Every structure is written in structure tokens, then in C-alpha cells.
């Protein structure tokens, strides 16, 4: 995760915004005829999806909107994108906004993929000449091949998303809005989308992402906003935001896990990854070195402490694990407050794909440990010809 040293100007401002919908309780035609007129009001109720939300988003930041189903995150994204108008409050934005909010939004089912590229790009503000210039790049990124001239009503959901995402990212947006669509499509396309979003971040563009994937938000975002019942209940650090989301999903009082962690003498607060120059990274090539930095907070001075880590595949299979005890390392005493310990992997020989890092810390290893599960996701890039979670150079001869 790369955090900007200096916040940029505000590009999206949400000021005391609420969105209320009217929901009918009489769903059949007979019910509606019976309840016509004054009595019909008794069979309607108002539902507030977003409730007095205020939010400033700076240029160059990637913000993850998190929450349970029905929390208001997708409605808030549509309000920011101008798809919905707020019931009360105001929303202002600067620059060109590209929104990828719903499967096939802005596509006409009876038009071909090629025709829909021009239609959708025009909606997003591009001229025909600009689309002509970008078309080959859009087509190549989508990976739908000859289906580009097929009516989109015959597309699979994955083809819809690939083409829609390809159009959105090639409109040169200042602000990109993405709602859960990265969950659709095969692993290779998801990785390509993640890499393009990472490129957008490095170019200083602003991204607002709705996702149910905590690991996706941890990898891509530098800020998390958690919603519950239309209210913002957390706004800040990504790892703390994921913890707040878990509190919400499991019905705990917000921050209860942190309070439990505070009962321990020391806790893991975050995991970051670094290259040999000390730069924070989100990926590594096969055979390259990688430093795992485990950030901790001691609630009191400690004469001794221990730490460990493990790396799992996305399916939960452990690939490697170690700790200071196994390495024969005695960590020096630490004062109350924040500190960290680095584990350096000299050569990463994991297969291409995505992996989770877990970390634990305690006064004595494996006793009363505080564990941060899936504290970081990272990607291993490889051009090897092997499959699986282990990488190797293989030759064949007869």
C-alpha cells in the first residue's frame, strides 16, 4: 500500500447527503387497486439508504467503501457518480468521472460490442475520434476477441464486465468509480484489472471502490470507509477499517476486537511489504527478495517478545511459516508504543498468483499470542512455465 506524503486537493465532496426511497408494501395489481387513494399511503414506507453522510476525497487516493449488504455503499457510489440525485445535501466533484457501477450499465443489448464501445464511451464524454484512437487498446484489454461484433445480449457476465471495464479505464478518467464488478471474470482478468488500478494510483488518479473482499481493499486502497445502516461508522486506516467491518458483520460493538487486543501486552497492528530499497510494494517477482515488516504496538514496556508469520494461498493452504524462535533470534526489549520487526525472505520461490500474510506476536511465542489473519495480500509475478504454489526453473530433454 502506497500512501501519499501530502494529501491532494479535494476532488469529491459529499456534504450532509441523504437518499430516501419510497417502498410499496402492496406488490400485486389487486393490492394496488384496493388501496388506491388515501388509504394507499398506509401501504407505503420510506427507506433511507444513505443517512446524513459527509465525506471529502482527495485527489490521488484510493478509497474502499465497505459494509454489509444493504449498508448503503452502492447507493453512495451512485450518488457520487451522478446516477442518483440526493434527497438532501449536496455532492460536488472535479474532473472526468468514469463509473463502472452495474453489470452492462450503459450497454444496449441489441447492439454489438463494437457499437456499445462507441456508445458507452460517448456517454463518458469521449468524441468519436478519441474512441477511434483508443478502440484497439480497449478491444485488446477486454480479451473478448471476435465477440466484439456480436450483440452483447449474447455475452456472458464475464464478457460484459471485461468490455465495460476496458471502456471505463480508457476514457482517461480523473475519478474512477468501481462497484464490485472486479469479483466477476476469471483470475487472470481480475489480476489485470488490479494491475491497471495500481497503475492509476501511481499516476495520481482517484479511485472509489465498493468491494466485499477485504483483501482486495487492503491491497488496493489507502483509506477505508465502513457504512452501517446508511451511516459512516469508520473512516481511516485500511487495516483498522477491515477490523471494523468484521465487527459490523459479526454483530459486535464497534471496536470490540481492538479492546480485546488491548488486554494483551502486545498486538500486531499492520503488515507491510518492502523491496531492497525500502520501498513499500504490493508484489514481487519469482526469485526476488522480499521483506515482511510486522508492525506492533506494546501496551507496556517489555523485556522480551517474539513474532512470527505465515504465508497462505487464497484457498488457505500454508506455503511457508517461521518465527523468531525458529530462527534463533532474541528480539531486544521494547518500550511502550509502536515498533516493528522485519523478516527478510532472500528469494521468493512461490508460484505466480496471490497470497495472504498472517502475523502473530506475543511475550512468549505461541502463548497468549495476538494474531492478525490475512493482514496483507500480495502478488507473485512469474514468467516460469510451471503451475502451483512453488516456482522452479524446469528443463526437459529426451
Are residues 286 and 391 in contact, defined by beta-carbon separation less than 8 angstroms?
yes
Q: List the chain domain ranges.
A: 10-95+174-249, 265-381
> Who's near 41: CB < 8 A, 6+ residues apart?
none
The model's confidence at residue 186, banded by pLDDT at 50, 70 and 90, is low
Phi-psi region of 145 (alpha: psi -120 to 50; beta: other; left: phi over 0): left
pLDDT value for 104: 58
Reading the block at residue 35, the C-alpha cell is 388501496
pLDDT in tens, 268-290: 889 999 999 889 998 999 889 99
pLDDT value for 155: 86
Percent of the chain with pLDDT over 90: 29
The model's confidence at residue 347, banded by pLDDT at 50, 70 and 90, is very high
pLDDT value for 243: 76
pLDDT higher than 70, residue 176: yes
> Who's near 101: CB < 8 A, 6+ residues apart?
74, 77, 78, 81, 83, 177, 179
**Stretch 207-215: mean pLDDT:** 80
pLDDT in tens, 70-88: 888 989 998 998 888 999 9
pLDDT value for 390: 84
Q: What's the CA gap between 385 and 184, in Å, rounded?
A: 26
Are residues 271 and 357 in contact, defined by beta-carbon separation less than 8 angstroms?
yes
Backbone angles phi, psi at 40, to 5 degrees: -60, -25
Under CATH, which architecture does the 10-95+174-249 domain have?
A: 3-Layer(aba) Sandwich (3.40)
pLDDT value for 371: 81
Which pTM does this prediction carry?
0.61
**Stretch 211-229: mean pLDDT:** 81
Percent of the chain with pLDDT over 70: 84
pLDDT in tens, 131-143: 999 999 999 988 8
The model's confidence at residue 46, banded by pLDDT at 50, 70 and 90, is confident
Superfamily of domain 265-381: abc- transporter (atp binding component) like domain (2.70.50.60)
Q: What's the CA gap between 363 and 370, in Å, rounded?
A: 10
pLDDT higher than 60, residue 19: yes
**Stretch 13-31: mean pLDDT:** 76
**Stretch 100-118: mean pLDDT:** 80
Q: What average pLDDT is seen over the chain?
A: 82
pLDDT value for 103: 56
pLDDT value for 3: 38
**Stretch 246-255: mean pLDDT:** 67
Reading the block at residue 70, the C-alpha cell is 444493504
22 vs 207, residue with greater confidence: 207
**Stretch 50-56: mean pLDDT:** 92
Output the CA angle 153-158-160, nearest 5 degrees.
40
Amino acid at each position: 500500500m502506497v500512501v501519499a506524503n501530502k494529501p491532494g486537493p479535494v476532488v469529491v465532496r459529499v456534504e450532509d447527503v441523504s437518499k430516501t426511497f419510497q417502498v410499496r408494501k402492496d406488490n400485486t395489481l389487486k393490492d394496488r387497486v384496493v388501496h388506491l387513494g388515501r388509504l394507499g399511503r398506509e401501504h407505503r414506507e420510506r427507506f433511507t439508504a444513505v443517512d446524513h453522510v459527509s465525506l471529502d476525497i482527495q485527489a490521488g487516493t484510493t478509497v474502499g467503501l465497505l459494509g454489509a449488504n444493504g449498508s448503503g455503499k452502492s447507493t453512495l457510489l451512485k450518488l457520487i457518480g451522478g446516477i442518483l440525485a440526493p434527497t438532501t445535501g449536496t455532492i460536488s466533484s472535479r474532473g472526468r468521472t468514469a463509473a463502472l457501477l452495474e453489470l452492462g450499465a450503459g450497454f444496449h443489448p441489441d447492439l454489438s460490442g463494437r457499437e456499445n464501445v462507441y456508445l458507452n464511451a460517448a456517454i463518458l464524454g469521449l468524441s468519436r475520434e478519441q474512441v477511434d484512437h483508443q478502440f484497439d487498446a480497449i478491444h485488446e484489454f477486454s480479451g473478448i476477441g471476435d465477440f466484439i461484433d456480436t450483440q452483447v445480449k449474447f455475452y456472458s457476465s464475464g464478457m460484459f464486465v471485461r468490455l465495460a471495464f476496458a471502456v471505463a479505464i480508457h476514457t482517461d478518467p480523473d475519478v474512477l468509480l468501481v462497484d464490485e464488478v472486479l469479483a466477476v471474470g476469471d483470475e487472470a482478468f481480475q489480476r489485470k484489472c488490479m494491475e491497471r488500478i495500481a497503475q492509476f494510483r501511481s499516476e495520481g488518479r482517484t479511485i472509489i471502490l465498493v468491494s466485499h473482499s477485504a483483501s482486495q481493499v487492503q491491497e488496493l486502497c489507502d483509506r477505508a470507509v465502513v457504512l452501517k445502516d446508511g451511516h459512516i461508522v469508520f473512516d481511516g486506516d485500511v487495516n483498522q477499517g477491515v477490523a471494523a467491518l468484521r465487527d459490523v458483520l459479526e454483530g459486535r460493538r464497534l471496536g470490540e476486537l481492538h479492546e480485546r487486543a488491548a488486554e494483551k501486552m502486545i498486538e500486531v497492528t499492520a503488515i507491510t511489504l518492502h523491496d531492497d530499497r525500502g520501498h513499500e510494494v504490493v508484489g514481487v517477482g519469482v526469485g526476488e527478495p522480499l521483506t515482511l515488516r510486522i508492525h506492533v504496538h506494546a501496551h507496556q514496556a517489555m523485556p522480551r517478545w517474539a513474532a512470527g508469520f505465515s504465508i497462505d494461498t487464497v484457498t488457505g493452504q500454508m506455503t511457508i511459516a517461521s518465527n523468531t524462535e525458529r530462527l534463533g533470534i532474541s528480539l531486544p526489549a521494547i518500550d511502550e508504543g509502536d515498533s516493528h520487526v522485519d523478516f527478510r525472505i532472500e528469494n521468493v520461490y512461490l508460484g505466480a498468483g496471490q497470497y495472504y500474510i498472517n502475523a502473530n506476536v506475543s511475550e512468549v511465542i505461541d502463548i497468549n499470542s495476538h494474531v492478525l489473519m490475512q493482514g496483507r495480500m500480495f502478488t507473485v509475478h512469474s514468467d516460469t512455465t510451471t503451475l502451483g504454489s512453488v516456482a522452479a526453473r524446469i528443463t526437459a530433454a529426451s
